[in-house]
Structure 1
Amino acid sequence: MNAVFMLIAMLILLASFVIWGVSFFYKEHFIVHEMMNALAAAGVSVCFGIGFIGLVFGIKNWFGKMMGAVSAIIMIGVGYSFAETSALLYKDKVAYENQDFEEMVALPIGEEYEPPDYGLPKLMKLEFEKLTIDVYNLEILRRDYEANWKGKPLEIVYLPNSRFAVSVKEYVE
């Protein structure tokens, strides 16, 4: 039984790597590229979730089973979140092609950065009173954001469903 779960997990992992590799051929097509990346991330997360389920069946002690089950639930939940992002990007495909974007001018009340473990940290999200905009795809470095835009009203152009930013610039009246 354990081997069946591991085989399924490995097949999903292989498919995820193929999707991720193919996404580089669509780098110029923003929506397709981001959809495929989110789908690949969902596959990797589900792969680990299924792997943890397999471990639950293979482990004898109750604590190990409990930790495996909790880990499986978390990983499958993360996979669902990535799959949902991919679906929202798919809904935005027509809006992106027609350049039918949402626009707002507001002062961010918070920001989220990627961990600095991988070099210079990039801005991931901008938080506003009513919504959060994903800006990671714009590759804005933390130092650039803090030097040029922090504490200033911003003009944000973003996709309506996924809330991925298309552009961010300082608002000038």
Structure 2
Amino acid sequence: MSKNTVVNIDLPLPMDVVGHLLGAFGAIYPGSKVAMGGRGLSINLHEGDRPAVPEALETIQPADLPHDDEDDVLLTGTRDDGTIRFAPPERIAQILTNWGRTILDQNDAPNFVEMQLIDNETGEEYVTSVARSKGQTPHQMLAAANERADDARTLLTEFIKDYETPDTVVDAIGVVDALNSILGALDGD
């Protein structure tokens, strides 16, 4: 009878170590399944998937891992929505944190700042965003604005249908109320 074994690996781990571990498990147990949750990896190994031919295990090569903790990119876990979380090397993280705080403070930005960056080598342009973690991201703000615009379109469409028939007597108060509803939808009220 074959059995399953679950190997749990706590994070954070350097990305090169994660890659080598997954490669080794994949070579020894080709049918293994990997899951990420919270702050760790779980690898489900099915004993029946282990190759019967010992030569298959020779595909695993010992890892020559240069290990400089200061420069490691770390796999730190996942969020509930499936987002994989990484941490940059500590020295770069500190530089980015200081830069982000300075940019937000210099612009009196309560939430986020977007900036255009130009690659000096290629001339290609990029846009980067710096956002406070407790505020909405630019994507979330755009999604909320689009939702308000959709609500306003729906109200405006209903308003036009109500007042486009030729025998309709236009009630000025009704028109003002309808337009105020549309404005409220745009403002998020």
TM-score by length of 2: 0.23
TM-score by length of 1: 0.25
Structure number having the greater helix percentage: 1
Structure whose CA Rg is larger: 2
Using CA pairs under 8 Å that are at least 6 residues apart, name the structure with larger relative contact order, 1 or 2.
1
Structure number having the greater strand percentage: 2
